[in-house]
Amino acid sequence: MNKTNQKILLCLAPIASMPLFAMISASCINTKKANPNDIQKTPEQKQSDLTKIASGLKIKLTQFSPYPNAERNSIYTKNINQNDIKLSIEGADADRIDYEIYGTVNDNSDTATDSSKTGIFDIIVKIFYKNDPKKDQKDNFVLKTITENGFRHDGIGANWSATTGLKPQPSEIDKYIANDQKQRYELDNKKYTEILKRQQQGDTSYNPTLETAEKEKFDKLAQELGLEKYDSAKVKKQSLAVKEGSETKLYVNEGSESGKGPSWVDSLGRDNEFKTTGLPRQLPNEMYKTSALQTFSIRFDMKTGKPNETKGSSGTAWILDYQKNNNGQPATKFYLGTNLHVVKEFDPEKLVAVSLTRIIKNVGLNTVFRLDQFDSKIEKFSFNGDGVKEMFKTFYTATDYMKDNPADYMNSAQKAKFKDVQDFQDFAVIEVDFEKAANLKVGVHSNNLDVTKKYSSALNENWTLKNAGELAKAVTNDYESDTAKHVKIMKDSFLKDYSRVNFPLVKLEKKLNSLKEKLTKPYDDATKKEIQEQIKKIEEQIKNSANLDSIYIVGWPLSIYDWVLYDDLYKYDYEKEAQQMRWSYSLWTNSDYRFFNRLDLTEEDTKYGNWLSYSLGYRTFVDKPGVIDAFLGAHKLASKLFEYQGKQYFAYGLQYAPRHYAPAGGASGSSLRTGKNELIGTYFASNEGAKTGLAVAFRSEGFDYKGMFGKYNLPQYDLINGGGKHQQSSFREELQKRYPNIKTALFANGVDKIPDEFKFNGIIGNSNGR
């Protein structure tokens, strides 16, 4: 794995087998008795003998995470805690010694050796004689360094943005802000691709080619359509056109991704780019609160085959829909949206427990929550028993959802190789039938206390079901009754209408006044003309921003990467909780990290959510930051195709890269919403190095590439409603198949027809959406 260019963290948080406390030790526990002669030696003798013993020892790293089964490529070395490190030691004299972890070395000072770039780090092992009371004194121990590799890395390094000069000089930033998106892209992309080319010197693993005339034709069309030119796409290892005879075919990267760094624009005006992964445990406005009330941390626990032991996984899920009852009784069958890779992890035959954790309704804005286990404003509903598999079922998966076979667009060699690889988006729907809780034990906990009695209309004191409808109301925060806040589906994608997220990089009115003031100064004519041009562009941006909306994301990642817990200003406030952060979750949003614990925030300060990332690594539509054709720009994570139930899949369709949202495991499945509570998509992967991630777009109008990639075009689809050209499955169609006569909150007129407003009117023919 040491050569794998791993960058993406799949945000599924595996939960370790119980008991959890067994994982904490970082020292070797040896049951053999010590040799009393060893500890009687002089320090000089110990040094000499221990040096010889250490040279003959074979030391292996066996654990580096609180989760014993964690893979190396899932964690950056800088996030490895010494307390989680376990080693195995073999050798002729291994029974005479013990060890402790003396330290680890992550060299982040030099981008050539930066462990974020290489996935390599050193463990310094302190070796001493067993039971030696003087083991901590000078010359009574020796140090041995072992080098470990294969850990998560981005091929770039932690110092990418600090050392590469991507950010313009201060004198140039005003011009940059006044530029349109294509001009900004051209300025940033030139520097970005130069860095990638230097890093990839000698790397010929991805080398599609076109003859000069064909490449010029490709680049001309790319310029017209707002797409990556050939050489730029190539260095980013995006899928590209190749010629096969007279036909144009698609060629996909079979190796690892290119390295991806953060955008300087995403951290513009921020004093700490490492906190731009989101705002923990605080809801700045009503839209965030609405989303949080409808969002769960979901956990599945499975039997392992060993007595009293379970293993599990967790992610984020949210209310998508529910079946309406005709008898006037509360709804009892709900549908939760999440990621396919979240539901992939649970085995129905081994499932013994599911929990849903959410906030309570009565919380104020900008309240700072504790970690999930320590807050009375957070409640966890637990469903236990072998019958839980009847209550929670995977209902719909976006696998093979198009009639197209991705391989049909490829050159003949890749077509043969990938003929059985189908399309997918990382989206799934879980059906939750509260009537099936009748044979389960159902309890509610908050702040480590049993609060089941609070829901006496739904549950009996012995954790048995009293009323399924009341239980559904309790778990969902009475979602059914709050009709004004039911989710809707966003009609037009950001590919079709980018103006809603084309956010100003600064406060435009303030910038405009500043520029106008400059005009009063005695500049030369050329400078004044330049300022006047900037004023004109800023005025145009102000006009266009009238249509501005924003994106709201709420999830439940593991608390281990909750930056507040490590902040010197706050860490003592969370001393108790920090001890449990590896097994706790933090409510997380894509809001501004600077809002944390602020008492002076105004409604104007917090009225927006956030937008899409300027990161260049994934972008395929050059004048639309954060908009991606997955098959071109992100058809797999790292170097592996997605696998589900024994089949492999290409990521296929429209995706988005959110700004200021790159949380830890557990956030997979977070929904993206507009300010009108319209569902945009669902988040599935974080790239900590690039300070962004990837999200499935629920709806795509499609895009006609006019032959740039042969017959391949961005597909038209709607994962909720269906109806796209060549689309063959959707959530609505699955409802129609199983329950043809029902009505739901989303499909009030029945599930047998697509609502008129979601019927497609053609495929986008250019990057302006016309």
Task: Convert 8-40 into a string of H (helix), E (strand) and C (coil).
Answer: CEECCEEECCCCHHHHCCCCCCCCCCCCHHHHC
Least trusted range by pLDDT, from 101-105, 533-537, 687-691, 706-710: 101-105
Least trusted range by pLDDT, from 10-19, 307-316, 383-392, 637-646: 10-19
Q: What is the pLDDT of residues 406-440, one digit of tens each?
A: 999 999 999 999 999 999 999 999 999 999 999 99
Least trusted range by pLDDT, from 208-212, 260-264, 340-344, 680-684: 260-264
Mean pLDDT of 199-211: 90
Counting Cα atoms < 13 Å in the Cβ hemisphere of 314 gives 27
Least trusted range by pLDDT, from 22-36, 195-209, 286-300, 407-421: 22-36
Give SS3 for 196.
Answer: helix
- Cα-based distances in Å from 600 to 305, 583, 595, 673: 54, 33, 9, 26
Question: Is 623 within 8 Å of 766 (Cβ atoms)?
Answer: no
With 60 as the cut, is the pLDDT of residue 546 above it? yes
Query: From start to end of 332-472, where are the E strands?
Result: 333-338, 351-359, 378-384, 392-399, 422-433, 441-446, 449-450
With 80 as the cut, is the pLDDT of residue 18 above it? no
pLDDT of 515 reads 84
Question: Is 323 within 8 Å of 739 (Cβ atoms)?
Answer: yes
pLDDT of 70 reads 74
Residues in contact with 129: Cβ distance below 8 Å, sequence separation at least 6, in sequence order? 34, 35, 38, 39, 41, 46, 50, 96, 97, 98, 135, 140
Average pLDDT, the chain: 88
Q: Which pLDDT band, with edges at 50, 70 and 90, does 83 fall under? A: confident
Mean pLDDT of 665-690: 95
- Check residues 13 and 246 and name the one with the higher pLDDT: 246
With 50 as the cut, is the pLDDT of residue 13 above it? no
Q: Secondary structure of 744-770 in the HEC alphabet?
A: ECCCCCCCCCCCHHHCCCCCECCCCCC
Q: Which pLDDT band, with edges at 50, 70 and 90, does 120 fall under? A: confident
pLDDT of 116 reads 56
pLDDT of 30 reads 34
- Cα-based distances in Å from 603 to 106, 508, 551, 552, 600: 42, 18, 17, 16, 10
With 50 as the cut, is the pLDDT of residue 92 above it? yes
Q: Which pLDDT band, with edges at 50, 70 and 90, does 719 fall under? A: very high
Give SS3 for 431.
Answer: strand
pLDDT of 267 reads 93
Mean pLDDT of 218-240: 97
Give SS3 for 424.
Answer: strand
Mean pLDDT of 178-191: 95
Cα 325 → chain centroid: 36
Instruction: Give the type of residue at 133.
Output: P
pLDDT of 24 reads 18
Mean pLDDT of 380-392: 97
pLDDT of 14 reads 31
Q: What is the pLDDT of residues 503-521, one digit of tens each?
A: 988 887 787 888 888 888 8
- Cα-based distances in Å from 46 to 99, 126, 141, 142, 419: 15, 13, 7, 9, 64
pLDDT of 153 reads 64
CA–CA separation, 552 vs 295, rounded Å?
A: 12
Mean pLDDT of 450-474: 97
DSSP 54: H
- Check residues 36 and 603 and name the one with the higher pLDDT: 603
With 90 as the cut, is the pLDDT of residue 637 above it? no
pLDDT of 652 reads 99
185's tokens: 């892209």
With 90 as the cut, is the pLDDT of residue 351 above it? yes
Share of the chain above pLDDT 70, in %: 91
Per-state percent for the chain, helix, strand, coil, to nearest 5: 30, 25, 45
With 70 as the cut, is the pLDDT of residue 163 above it? no
Instruction: Give the type of residue at 553.
Output: I
pLDDT of 26 reads 25
pLDDT of 74 reads 67
Least trusted range by pLDDT, from 100-114, 132-146, 534-548: 100-114
With 60 as the cut, is the pLDDT of residue 669 above it? yes
Cα 70 → chain centroid: 17
353's tokens: 């427990």
CA–CA separation, 302 vs 352, rounded Å?
A: 6
Asked, as a colleague might, if the bond just before 19 is cis with ω within 30 of 0, I would say yes
pLDDT of 117 reads 56
Mean pLDDT of 656-669: 95
With 90 as the cut, is the pLDDT of residue 709 above it? yes
pLDDT of 766 reads 45
With 90 as the cut, is the pLDDT of residue 113 above it? no
